[in-house]
Amino acid sequence: MSPGQWVKETNAIGLYVERGKYGGTYAHKDIAFEFGVAISAVFRLFLIKEFQRLQSEESKRFSAEWDLQRTLAKINYRIHTDAVREYLIPAEVTGAQACFTYASKADLLNVALFGMTARQWRAANPDASKKVNIRDGATLEQLVVLSNMESINALLIRQGLPQGERLTHLNRTAITQMTSLLGSEHIRQLADGNDEK
């Protein structure tokens, strides 16, 4: 059966036959790929290799974006820890006390954004916690909000707000920003790897 007869008999869509000197058989790309795969092992191999290459490139691109956001969060954390050292750590504390103060301020951000401290996350994820921490598992949107919250917390510390008030303010900020980012088409395209400029 010719393609023209098949289209006529089955009322097929996705396949079009044009008669005449410059005519030909045209198919939707999915149908054309399936046809090519059915008649050529070389084409099948080419299609598989190309798909794998595109997935690898997309993975590298997303990883680079995630690494950039993680780096921004780390840089902003320096601003945050400087504010903690400057305004919250009393003079002449021991190194252990200074570390505890830093950890509690970092956990303030964790609770505001993730709803748990780093210790609570490690307890809930014993296998993962050996390789990563709560922030390493964050989404792109969460890393953007975390980066913003570190700067906001530094500002609130300098303004002298007590920890409880800062936690409430930071949590409201996290909710507002996450709601906004999760509704953003541009962020969705970045996360899906379909960013078109």
- Domain borders along the chain are 3-39, 58-192
Measured CA distances, 91 to 108, 123, 184 (Å): 22, 33, 45
Q: What is the pLDDT of residues 133-168, one digit of tens each?
A: 888 878 878 888 888 888 999 899 889 888 888 888
Q: What is the pLDDT of residues 16-31, one digit of tens each?
A: 888 888 888 888 888 8
pTM (global) more than 0.85:
no
Q: What is the pLDDT of residue 126?
A: 84
Does 5 have pLDDT greater than 50? yes
Tokens of 19: 């008669």
Q: What is the pLDDT of residues 33-67, one digit of tens each?
A: 888 888 888 988 888 899 888 888 888 777 777 77
Task: Encode burial over 83-96: b for 16+ CB neighbours within 10 A, e otherwise.
Answer: bbeeeebeeeeeee
d(C-alpha 140, C-alpha 137), whole Å = 10
Mean pLDDT across the chain: 78
